[in-house]
Chain A
Amino acid sequence: MNFVTPEIAWAPLAPILIVLVAASAAILIEAFIRTPATRRLVQLAVALVALVAALGTAAVQWALLDGAGTVVMDGMITVDRQALAWQSMILVFGVLGMILFAARTRAGEESFTPLGSTAPGSIEETLARRKGLQLTEVFPLGLFAVGGMMLFTSVTDYIFLFVALEVFSLPLYILVALSRRRRLLSQEGALKYFLLGAFSSAIFLFGAALVYGATAHTSYSAVAYAMELGGANDALLVTGAVMIVAGLLFKIGAVPFHSWTPDAYQGAPTPVTAFMAAATKAAATAALLRIMYTSLHPLEWELSWLFWAAAIASMALGTVLALVQTDVKRMLAYSSVAHAGFILVAFAGLEGEALSALPFYLLAYGLASIGAFAVVTQVRERTEDGSVGAEAVRLGQWAGLGKRSPLLAGAMSLFLLSFAGIPLTAGFVGKFEAFSAAIAGGGWPLVLIAVVASAVAAFFYVRLVVLMFLTDVPEGAEDDIAVEDSPLVRLVIWVTAVATVLLGILPAGALGLLEDAAVLLVSLGA
């Protein structure tokens, strides 16, 4: 057998490569710069420069793209407008996430533990804190996660997709475990997230192996081609396809693969939750979209029950469980499960509309998520000695926030209304587009359920708004809550709030761009 060196077109890969190279360089920085304060600034600068440079390169790619796109590395990666749209979205979430990672409280406290290896409450932990150690590894870990997610959206080969899946999942598992406050909760969330995540990627991998067995191919388009040609082993094929979809539904956080979502969201340091909520869902949706449209579409009928069942169960369970939560982060986590259901609704019938509706939906959802969790980082408990403590996450502690900080409460209300899909916010346009795509695909019963679920979900979003604005601060609890005003977090809140309003009032520009991106390049590369 001859080994032929593959020709690699480097230019279309540039955005991904920039991020991954910067991540590797950031690990070296970790080893060479000793002073924590300098290291933190350098790491932040490297991360932001790399992400912005990658965003610029992606924009140049978009402008220069001739025809539908480019197939790179023998069909392993496809760079078309759809992929570039998702990559840019993830980069934007990455930039916002990194800024949140770097934010500190007025007392100079970060969101991350000074030393991850110390046991919570131990002497070592106190020493590390007193010595001013800082965990700057979060920046390279975040960069690796962003790079892996970008790959995840553009890969067109099942086995390579598994590799990309792990490249972005492994850093996230670690990031979840690194909270500064409530560390037991954080580690427990990470353990659950890790075990269930590894379980689901093993399911995905076995599914990919079965599809390979049935068709002798692992490239998306070649698998579709082999299916259309016939002669593939049907039992293996359908089992494999169901397992592949199940593995991806886990990452999207749809019922019955949602059980990690509340634990990981609640346990993780809030900046990580913000980034993870927005970017993981976007990356997983992008990968599922590409697989369903370019590879498994001949099995659409066989798989539709899975999508319908997962969509209905996610919307129902997510909404009902969000209603009974008393923790803000957990409530937002269950609301993200419900949103996973809304996302799956758009897959009904695999209509072309979904190719522009889903990116818009995820953009609107991601911006609102990052904004909402950014607000959560700013509302803090006051400890008995008057210093500022952990985040105040109990719903009751948010009573009267509108009087304490009208700006934060107003921004939070905006994000909640966008989640609920109230007109003039980005969430409304996203839901409208997603549901139109589903109706075009004959999924009107799903849309009916989705509209009812949205109405019920609006109840718990509005409940928090009412709590913030119309409820008084409980007697004697006036000094229990401290509102932070970190400039970095304020910047993120402003950017996401303005974007949410702009996309809600003038969605035409973004929708027009995404309609250009509503083409998936299919090639028989392999």
Chain B
Amino acid sequence: MNPMNYVILASILFAIGSAAVLLRRNAIVAFMGVELMLNAANLSLVAFARIHDQLDGQVMAFFVMVVAAAEVVVGLAIIIAVFRARQSISLDEPAELKG
């Protein structure tokens, strides 16, 4: 199977992820969109590593996973803090900041 197909799949996942970030109003779902984008990048890194017959891309995918995990910790902490304060994580509702 042509590994380029995986790159196309990764691009589709990336597009879905960014659509989720831009369109969904729930902070958790938007955040899941970000994670999908990072994983799309991982998939393409691994696919390209296969295309170039290198290991580099796969090693990079590990770095990305670790960073993504750290990002989840910080992100969820902020989302939970916001939820505790206002019992909602809608991105439309918090409207203290405008203009």
**In the complex, what's the smallest C-beta–C-beta distance from B34 to chain A, in angstroms?**
4
Say whether B45 contacts A212, CB under 8 Å: yes
The interface size bin for chain A is 35 or more
Known A191-B27, A210-B44, A212-B57: A202·B70 in contact at CB below 8 Å: no
Query: What is the CA–CA distance of A203 and B34 in the complex, to the nearest angstrom?
Result: 9
Number of residue pairs across A and B with beta carbons under 8 Å? 125
6 contacts between A and B (CB under 8 A): A162-B64, A166-B67, A170-B70, A187-B78, A188-B94, A198-B75
Say whether B97 contacts A189, CB under 8 Å: yes
Say whether A159 contacts B60, CB under 8 Å: yes
Enumerate chain A residues within 8 angstroms of B75, measured Cβ to Cβ.
Answer: 173, 194-195, 198
Say whether B34 contacts A198, CB under 8 Å: yes
User: What sequence of 0s and 1s flags, for each residue 110-154 of chain A, a beta carbon within 8 Å of any chain B beta carbon?
Assistant: 000000110110000000000000000000000000000000000
Known A162-B64, A189-B97: A205·B78 in contact at CB below 8 Å: no
Query: What is the CA–CA distance of A104 and B69 in the complex, to the nearest angstrom?
Result: 35
Please pick, from B31, B48, B52, B55, the residue contacting A209 in the complex, using a CB distance under 8 A.
Answer: B48
Closest to A170 in B: B74
Query: What is the CA–CA distance of A384 and B99 in the complex, to the nearest angstrom?
Result: 29
The answer to whether B41 has its CB under 8 Å from any CB of chain A is yes
Interface residues of B in 35-64 (CB under 8 A from A): 37-38, 40-41, 44-45, 47-48, 51-52, 54-57, 60, 63-64
Enumerate chain B residues within 8 angstroms of A190, measured Cβ to Cβ.
Answer: 78
Query: What is the CA–CA distance of A212 and B96 in the complex, to the nearest angstrom?
Result: 42
Q: Pick the 8 closest A-B CB pairs, nearest first.
A: A202-B37, A213-B48, A119-B84, A216-B52, A188-B94, A205-B41, A198-B34, A159-B60
Closest to A158 in B: B60
Query: What is the CA–CA distance of A173 and B81 in the complex, to the nearest angstrom?
Result: 13
The answer to whether A184 has its CB under 8 Å from any CB of chain B is yes
Known A185-B97, A187-B81, A202-B38: A195·B44 in contact at CB below 8 Å: no
Say whether B51 contacts A213, CB under 8 Å: yes
Secondary structure at the B interface, as helix, strand, loop or mixed, is: helix
The answer to whether B16 has its CB under 8 Å from any CB of chain A is no
The answer to whether A397 has its CB under 8 Å from any CB of chain B is no
Say whether B55 contacts A205, CB under 8 Å: no
The answer to whether B85 has its CB under 8 Å from any CB of chain A is yes
The answer to whether A266 has its CB under 8 Å from any CB of chain B is yes
**In the complex, what's the smallest C-beta–C-beta distance from B52 to chain A, in angstroms?**
4
Known A1-B55, A159-B60, A206-B44: A195·B85 in contact at CB below 8 Å: no
Interface residues of A in 194-234 (CB under 8 A from B): 194-195, 198-199, 202-203, 205-206, 208-210, 212-213, 216, 218
Known A194-B75, A199-B18: A206·B41 in contact at CB below 8 Å: yes
Number of interface residues of B (CB under 8 A): 46
**In the complex, what's the smallest C-beta–C-beta distance from B82 to chain A, in angstroms?**
5
Enumerate chain A residues within 8 angstroms of B31, measured Cβ to Cβ.
Answer: 195, 198
**In the complex, what's the smallest C-beta–C-beta distance from B76 to chain A, in angstroms?**
10
Enumerate chain A residues within 8 angstroms of B51, measured Cβ to Cβ.
Answer: 213
Known A120-B85, A216-B52: A195·B37 in contact at CB below 8 Å: no
Closest to A185 in B: B96
Enumerate chain B residues within 8 angstroms of A119, measured Cβ to Cβ.
Answer: 81, 84-85
User: What sequence of 0s and 1s flags, for each residue 140-183 of chain A, a beta carbon within 8 Å of any chain B beta carbon?
Assistant: 00000000000000000001101100100010011001000001
Enumerate chain B residues within 8 angstroms of A199, measured Cβ to Cβ.
Answer: 18, 21, 33-34, 37
Query: What is the CA–CA distance of A185 and B31 in the complex, to the nearest angstrom?
Result: 20
Closest to B55 in A: A1
Known A170-B70, A213-B48: A267·B81 in contact at CB below 8 Å: no
Query: What is the CA–CA distance of A184 and B81 in the complex, to the nearest angstrom?
Result: 10
The answer to whether A263 has its CB under 8 Å from any CB of chain B is yes
**In the complex, what's the smallest C-beta–C-beta distance from A237 to chain B, in angstroms?**
12
Closest to B22 in A: A199
The answer to whether A75 has its CB under 8 Å from any CB of chain B is no
Query: What is the CA–CA distance of A213 and B41 in the complex, to the nearest angstrom?
Result: 11
Query: What is the CA–CA distance of A119 and B41 in the complex, to the nearest angstrom?
Result: 36
The answer to whether A404 has its CB under 8 Å from any CB of chain B is no
Please pick, from A159, A202, A210, the residue contacting B34 in the complex, using a CB distance under 8 A.
Answer: A202
Query: What is the CA–CA distance of A218 and B49 in the complex, to the nearest angstrom?
Result: 12
**In the complex, what's the smallest C-beta–C-beta distance from B15 to chain A, in angstroms?**
10
User: What sequence of 0s and 1s flags, for each residue 245-278 of chain A, a beta carbon within 8 Å of any chain B beta carbon?
Assistant: 0000000000000000011001100000000000
**In the complex, what's the smallest C-beta–C-beta distance from B51 to chain A, in angstroms?**
7
The answer to whether A330 has its CB under 8 Å from any CB of chain B is yes
Say whether B81 contacts A116, CB under 8 Å: yes
Query: What is the CA–CA distance of A218 and B21 in the complex, to the nearest angstrom?
Result: 27
A119-B81, A188-B82, A191-B82 are known; give 16 further A-B pairs, CB within 8 A. Answer: A159-B64, A162-B67, A166-B71, A170-B74, A184-B96, A188-B96, A188-B97, A192-B97, A199-B21, A202-B41, A203-B18, A203-B37, A206-B14, A212-B45, A213-B48, A262-B99
**In the complex, what's the smallest C-beta–C-beta distance from B69 to chain A, in angstroms?**
11
- Which of B18, B30, B45, B51 has most chain A Cβ within 10 Å? B45
Say whether B48 contacts A174, CB under 8 Å: no
Interface residues of B in 76-96 (CB under 8 A from A): 77-79, 81-82, 84-86, 91, 94, 96
The answer to whether A105 has its CB under 8 Å from any CB of chain B is no
The answer to whether A405 has its CB under 8 Å from any CB of chain B is no
The answer to whether A325 has its CB under 8 Å from any CB of chain B is yes
